[in-house]
A and B are shown apart, each in its own frame.
Chain A
Amino acid sequence: MSSLATSHDSEGQARTLPGLSRQKQSNRTGSRSARPRPQGSRDNLNGWAFAAPFLAFFLVFLVWPLLYGLYMSMTGKSLTGANDSVIGFANYAEALADADMWHSLGNTLYFTVISTIPLVVVALIMAALVNVGLPAQWLWRLSYFAPYLLASTVVSLFFTWMYNPQLGLINDTLVKIGLPKVAWLNDPGVAMWAIVIATLWWTVGFNFLLYLAAMQNIPAQHYEAASLDGAGAWRQFFSITLPQLAPTTVMIVLLQILASLKIFDQVYQMTAGGPGGATRPVVQYIFETGFTGYRLGYSAAISYIFFGLIVAVSVIQFFITRRRSA
């Protein structure tokens, strides 16, 4: 539950994992082929000793909560301690028939769809702009990436002021150029987009960095050869840069989908799920049923349904990346 709620943290975690695991794998195979067998058992012991702190954390903070949460989802457990009995799949049955759960899940998916596209495309454009060799590169990198370092509370406050219908900078600007005011966070049709804009400003820097790193790894000879053949800048971009970036794009898209699915912080702080529940993501619904509605068992059941969805996306990611690297 807690790992779901802190979308920002878990986002970072998810993003560092693929790289780490790959590195670990290569180290292991390397040491196995280099070392003779006899020392194996001591190696094993040493290995376990090194891994023990991580394993202990893994068991205490991931495996145990995961199992306990699963058990909890089968009970009527309440925050007050009442109704502790095991009730089987009743919570799951109730959740599947719960219109509010579906509505919030729908909101989460809607946010994921409409946020992933700009978060990938804008990052690509920003990276391409920086990569063409503007002066003071560090300044561009810093200014594009800096918002990513802010806390979600800061970003939310900042945008709540900007979006204020009466006193906000954005509406003020709209009025000055002769456009009507927009009820950014109070119009059910607009609020989700307002949150997407804030999220884009806040987190696009990370994807931008990934893209920029990938672009700078494309060998210069490719461009050299292309320009000798008479290819212009656009031609080079579409025929060299984009294809070379394909593996990075796949990775960014999938990581972005996972990150967007876990949306919570900005919404909770900017609209609290409103107006009319139009922006309430499923993580907030889990929080509400469990912590303000006291129904821990029921909220655990919803979080496992959501967990299933994330696992499904991760499995798809796994197969796509495997095919790509094969």
Chain B
Amino acid sequence: MKQFEFFEGRQLSRRQLLSGTAAVGSVFAAAALAGCGGNASAAAVRDIQFWHLLSGGDGIKMQAMISKANDANPGFKVHPTVLAWGPPYYTKLAMASAGGRPPQLAIMHASRVPGYAPGGLIDPWDLDLLSEFGVTAQNFAPRIWDKSQNNGKVFSIALDSHPFVMFYNRDVAGKAGLLGSNGQLQEAKSPQEFLSMAREMQKVTQAHGLSFGYLGSGSQMWRLFYTLYRQHGADMELTPGKPMVADNEAAVESLEFMASLFDDTIAAQSGDISTGIAEFARGGSGMLFSGVWELPTMKKAGIPVDAATIPTLYGTPAAYADSHSFVLPRQLNVDDAKRRDVYKFVSDILKGSLSWAEAGHIPAYQPVVQSQAYRDLTPQIHYANAADIIAYDPEAWFSGSGSDWQTYFAETVQNVLLGRDKAADGWDAFVRRTNTLLSRPNPV
């Protein structure tokens, strides 16, 4: 067979190879020496590994908070590792814990704890030790503190709650005559009222009234669906070994309402998350359904943005939400000094979570929420009430943020939103899929 050469006659000479190897070798040697020096001079500083899944603006804020905590505590240094949101993060965390080499501290969505706590992948928090650093149950809203429990023990310490909310463009709303006397958007009280408000906004933008990117994203579809579903006052129960308990009527009505949004006037039919965000950020629509974490993007875009919880269209105020929470991945051998450091670090971060609020999240630590500095943050304060109405995912080992279960929701429901399937059929398919999961052996 003939030999191929992409660049004819180009070969590495022996001398080039040797000098290259020598150069690489010296770099390694220098690095090794530097490493020795570093270790020797800083022997007393304990290294804490901390994994999280916060990227973008959130990641920058978190890095600043970590640096601040490190500066305030010369005894330890927290080294963050940032992993990709969703399955990549959760599979790595589970495998590191199962393999006995997890970080000393990690961030998890509170909704994912039921998949980790029963199997022993994370350790419970010692509340006495926590209170030594000035953090107690009284510092959290009851709804959020309840969520931190699993089987009577506290497995997660919430940093925030981050609900799914409605951003709106004050200019567009004003031109459409929809601002109230307080300068904020009038609240729609029924689906029809909301649709007509959106149509008014469309007349102003000439593009769409509402931006909501959902294509290909189970999380996005689920966030809006579960908000509307819970506004019916409906509940959902997932018990392994039993069929799912849900209010089918409320579910179908919620899906039908969602499908009615995507008529290419109220909202674009073929929008994914990034196009939805981009459309709102450039003034192509009056409203955006998204998570609070999108606030920095909107502020940076320079549009007159305000925000509120998603209007109560079905009688019961509710907002889908989750919490970034601190968890202790199970160590094979707990280093007591490091664990103490972790408690100190977490308490420092909680107490300094005002800067986390700047990224849009609602701090879980009540002294921060009650501070004047937080009350002065707009539009954060306009949706701070969400903390009282938040609805976490129904608990099961397979549910929660970034879970496959949300992907299955997209699989069965996307065609409903695209107008290809009936809402009832899509919902039935999702119930069947969920029941299959519930019927299988529980792995945790």
How many chain A residues have a CB neighbour from B under 8 Å?
Answer: 39
Instruction: Tell me the bound Cα distance from A83 to B120 in angstroms.
Output: 13
A238 CB, nearest partner CB in chain B, Å: 23
Cβ-defined partner of B91 (8 Å) among A145, A271, A292: A292
On whether the beta carbons of B7 and A138 are closer than 8 Å, the reply is yes
Q: Does B202 contact A (CB under 8 A)?
A: no
On whether the beta carbons of B271 and A166 are closer than 8 Å, the reply is yes
On whether the beta carbons of A276 and B414 are closer than 8 Å, the reply is yes
Q: Does A213 contact B (CB under 8 A)?
A: yes
Complex contacts, A106 vs chain B, CB 8 Å: none
Instruction: Tell me the bound Cα distance from A293 to B440 in angstroms.
Output: 11
On whether the beta carbons of A166 and B270 are closer than 8 Å, the reply is yes
On whether the beta carbons of A294 and B94 are closer than 8 Å, the reply is yes
The contact size tier of chain B is 35 or more
Q: Which A residues between 172 and 193 are near B, CB-CB below 8 angstroms?
A: 181, 183, 185-186, 188
Q: Which A residues between 267 and 312 are near B, CB-CB below 8 angstroms?
A: 271-277, 288, 291-295
Cβ-defined partner of B98 (8 Å) among A80, A167, A288: A80
Q: Does B38 contact A (CB under 8 A)?
A: no
Cβ-defined partner of B8 (8 Å) among A100, A138, A209, A295: A138
On whether the beta carbons of B414 and A274 are closer than 8 Å, the reply is yes
Residue of B nearest to A78 (CB): B443
Instruction: Tell me the bound Cα distance from A297 to B181 in angstroms.
Output: 62
A142 CB, nearest partner CB in chain B, Å: 5
On whether the beta carbons of B397 and A217 are closer than 8 Å, the reply is no
Chain B interface, DSSP helix/strand/loop, else mixed: loop
Q: Does B1 contact A (CB under 8 A)?
A: yes
- Tell whether A295 pairs with B443 under 8 Å between CB atoms, given A166-B270, A186-B270, A275-B411: yes
Q: Does A76 contact B (CB under 8 A)?
A: yes
Q: Does B407 contact A (CB under 8 A)?
A: yes
Instruction: Tell me the bound Cα distance from A186 to B98 in angstroms.
Output: 36
B115 CB, nearest partner CB in chain A, Å: 8
Residue of B nearest to A145 (CB): B6
- 22 residue pairs A–B, Cβ–Cβ below 8 Å: A80-B94, A80-B116, A81-B119, A100-B436, A138-B5, A164-B275, A166-B271, A166-B272, A167-B278, A183-B215, A186-B215, A186-B272, A186-B414, A188-B415, A271-B216, A272-B216, A274-B216, A275-B215, A275-B410, A276-B410, A292-B403, A294-B115
Q: A166-B270, A271-B216, A277-B411 are in contact. List 6 more A-B contacts (CB 8 A).
A: A80-B120, A94-B440, A167-B275, A186-B270, A276-B415, A293-B404
Interface residues of B (CB under 8 A from A): 1-2, 4-8, 87, 90-91, 94-95, 98, 115-116, 118-121, 215-216, 268, 270-272, 274-275, 278, 397-398, 403-404, 407, 410-412, 414-415, 418, 436, 440-441, 443-444
10 nearest A-B pairs in the assembled complex, by CB-CB distance: A80-B119, A78-B443, A294-B443, A165-B270, A291-B91, A166-B275, A276-B411, A277-B411, A186-B215, A295-B443
